[in-house]
Amino acid sequence: MTFKHSLVLSSAIAVLAACAGTPEAAAPVEQAAGDDEKVTVTGARIRRDEFSSDQPLQVLDADAAKSFGVVDASSLGLGASASGAQVDASINNSVNRPPRRDRRYDNKAQAFPQPAPGDVDLEEYPDAPPNSLKLVSEEPVSTFSVDVDTASYAVARSYLENGQLPPGQAVRVEEMINYFDYAYPLPDRRDQPFSVSAVVAPTPWNANTQLIHIGLKGYDIVPDQRPRANLVLLLDVSGSMNAPNKLPLLKKSLRLLVDQLEDDDLVSIVVYAGAAGQVLEPTLGRDKAKILSALNALSAGGSTAGGEGLRLAYSLAEANFDENAVNRVILATDGDFNVGVTQNERLEDFVERKRETGIYLSVLGFGRGNYKDSRMQTIAQAGNGVAAYIDSLNEARKVLHDEMTSTLFPIANDVKIQVEFNPARVAEYRLIGYETRVLNREDFNNDKVDAGEIGAGHEVTAVYEISAPDSNGRLIDERRYAEAESESTSASNEYGFLRVRYKLPGENDSKLIERPITNSDAADTLDNVDPETRWAVAVAAFGQLIRDEPYLNGFSYADIIELAKPAVGEDPFGYRAEFLQLARLAETGEALLSRDRFSGGE
């Protein structure tokens, strides 16, 4: 009698490896009466860094496959270590049994084609091409939100130290610049949380343009005067975190934070994998042994229900909310949510609603290979928090120990910067970086529009490249029928007018800082600018060069190193010296072998 068989795969064939030892997930077999039989294999999609395949046609063989050409997952005898295997599948048509079985595959289980571990990059970065050049005659006002995140710099460093240039979309120039401390002037009034300074300097990569460098410096908190903290640690313990640079590094990193806790701080721990759960009830900071014991007991396994984890973490933070404390959820993950709410838009909507409760959300990213930077940025921005990437214990010390007050304790919310350029002095401009933070002009005065936060002691730097009306560096022709601008003699010495709007924590109405950018802010040569401006300009050039932006006119990594070296200064932790080494790594031929320029970052 002839039997006709068809194989229907309703999900990833990864279940064949992932559900070993899990009888309830084994492939069910349905047999219909008559001459035809149908085998239906079902299962869940499981992710892991080590394996991924775009076309995972499976050739599997065991005793159970002798009749049907397929294998029962339970017969493979795989251990728990295979639970993270990922094999993508999209075979929806029927596969008929061939007349004769090919015995070359007897007693073998193969996946073809299947890249070697580590060969597949599933990372995701925001699609953000460089800001375009603007005509002052058409768009005289530039508005954007501040960004004190540093994740992009650490991600770029991890690529470079691995002998690769990072994908262009992984680099956000403002985060490269703001990774470093700057000795900007301190605020001179207690009712103003930060100072505002400006410098106009020649452009090192274009003799026909100038740079406007803007610096904000927040006041710092004296340690014994800081407010108490109500912290909920939301930790990803799914199977995708089972790598040395993920959960083990996460646990070591958070021990540094625990060491900084005051006795009256409150800490809770929520974990999520296939589901979310509380592993540490609200515990005072004085009971460090109990907190560390809960951390040490964590292990990785299962899928990733990050959305459910967020709900539980916010619920805990709300239950212990203290209006006199800083209430914050700290999410530590690789961002690979694959169960429950997984869409960035839905996660963003949820976090935006929760920020109205006064609870901040910060994100710590870990790992490579399936790191979802775009999701981390979306969640952190929506949650009035910061995003950092932890690629080493040294970076963890920087973020969670040395800069803990900046990371955890805000001094200003919804900080926006707006520059109006004087058409008599500036014909064209472009904002370097901040592509994901650009706002509409009307958003500046709208207190309902969210923007970035500044933590205690934070510095924020922004750089514009400008060209004068008579400059040979202009790239855009004026309109033939443009109306002539009337010159204001009272503002003839001004390049533009700088406005900064912010809210104090807990307040709903914003405050305004204003100042002109004038000739007195200008330096005629780079040698005459302060070291902090010089350093920021060098890092800005570095970020643009990695992104392969079209404005640098052949300015090289060697030029960047020469520009930066005189501005290293005291450098107590060696971060600026490390930057010079990264620039040298980027200069090597090995680093140029791997590029992904503005292709969506996936």
The pLDDT value recorded for residue 4 is 40
pLDDT at site 251: 96
Nearest to 323 by CA among 352, 357, 354: 357
30 beta partners: 38
**Helix residue ranges per DSSP H, 383-467:** 393-397, 404-408
Query: pLDDT at position 303, please?
Result: 64
In whole angstroms, how far apart are CA 89 and each of 60, 105, 121, 176, 306?
A: 14, 20, 17, 38, 23
Question: Which CATH code fits 227-405?
Answer: 3.40.50.410
Question: How much is the pLDDT for 488?
Answer: 53
Report the alpha-carbon distance of residue 95 to residue 177 in Å, rounded: 55
Task: State the pLDDT at residue 108.
Answer: 36
**Short-list 353, 354, 307, CA closest to 331:** 307
* CATH of region 134-149+163-221+410-477+489-556: 2.60.40.1230
Name the β-bridge partners of 364: 332, 388
* Closest residue by Cα to residue 220 from 261, 183, 178: 183
Which DSSP string do the residues of 557-595 spell out, in sequence order?
HHHHHHHHGGG----TTSHHHHHHHHHHHHHSTGGGG--
Rounded mean pLDDT for each run of 10 residues along the chain, 602 residues in total: 41 41 40 39 35 37 40 37 33 36 38 42 86 96 96 95 90 97 86 93 97 95 87 92 94 96 96 84 96 93 72 93 94 71 70 90 91 88 92 96 91 96 97 97 96 94 97 89 61 93 94 97 94 98 95 95 96 97 84 47 43
Handedness of CA 54, 60, 64, 65 (dihedral sign): positive
| Pair 375, 346: CB distance under 8 Å | no
pLDDT value for 20: 44
Q: Which residues, in sequence order, are bridge partners of residue 517?
A: 496
If you search the block for the tokens 């370097």, which residue do you land on?
432
pTM of the entire predicted model:
0.77
- Count Cα neighbours of 236 within 13 Å in the Cβ-side half-sphere: 31
Confirm if 513 and 500 have CB atoms less than 8 A apart.
Answer: yes
Residue pair 488/234 in contact (Cβ under 8 Å)? The answer is no
pLDDT of residue 66: 40
Residues contacting 562, CB < 8 A, separation 6+: none
**Phi and psi angles of residue 486, each rounded to the nearest 5 degrees, phi first:** -85, 130
Preceding amide of 550 cis, omega within 30:
no
CA distance 296 to 314: 23
Alpha-carbon distance of 264 to 285, in angstroms, equals 6
List the domain boundaries for the chain. Answer: 4-112, 134-149+163-221+410-477+489-556, 227-405
Kindly compute the dihedral angle of the four CA atoms of residues 388, 389, 392, 396, in this order, to the nearest 10 degrees: 20
Q: Among residues 62, 70, 83, 102, which one has the least CA distance to residue 20?
A: 83
